[in-house]
Amino acid sequence: MNKKLTASLLCVILEDLARSKSIITYADLARSAKVAGPCFIHKTCTALELIMEQDVARNRPLLAAIVISKTRNKLPAPGFFRQLTKLGVYCGPEQGKEAAIFHACELKKVWEFYCD
């Protein structure tokens, strides 16, 4: 499955989750989207980066905020914050209080956008 197709499939899943104000781990998202093969989490993250680019370009809340790491206290992986820094949306640490506040605000925006 190519990156654009994977991103499209992930968007459908993430939008459904957003409407129910839910979150999901990277591994569970990959399984739900049936992303297969070696490096399935990496493939999922690469597609999420494309979704982030699209959301920023469209001035929409970041659907990728719904996806969290099971080992980072309900925060997204560091790559989420690195990608946002690259896109000029965030300039802060990848963990800690500032990252948690940014993530919580973005998650709220996503839920409000997709629930209305």
pLDDT digits (tens, 9 = 90+) for 29-83: 999 999 988 899 999 999 999 999 999 999 999 999 999 999 888 999 999 999 9
Q: To 5 degrees, how large is the angle CA 109–CA 110–CA 116?
A: 90
Model confidence pTM above 0.95 = no
Residue 53 CA to residue 45 CA, distance in Å, equals 12
* 16: confidence class by pLDDT, cuts 50, 70, 90: very high
Number of domains in the chain: 1
Ranges of beta strands (E only) in the chain are 24-25, 67-68
Domain membership of residue 26 as a residue range: 3-115
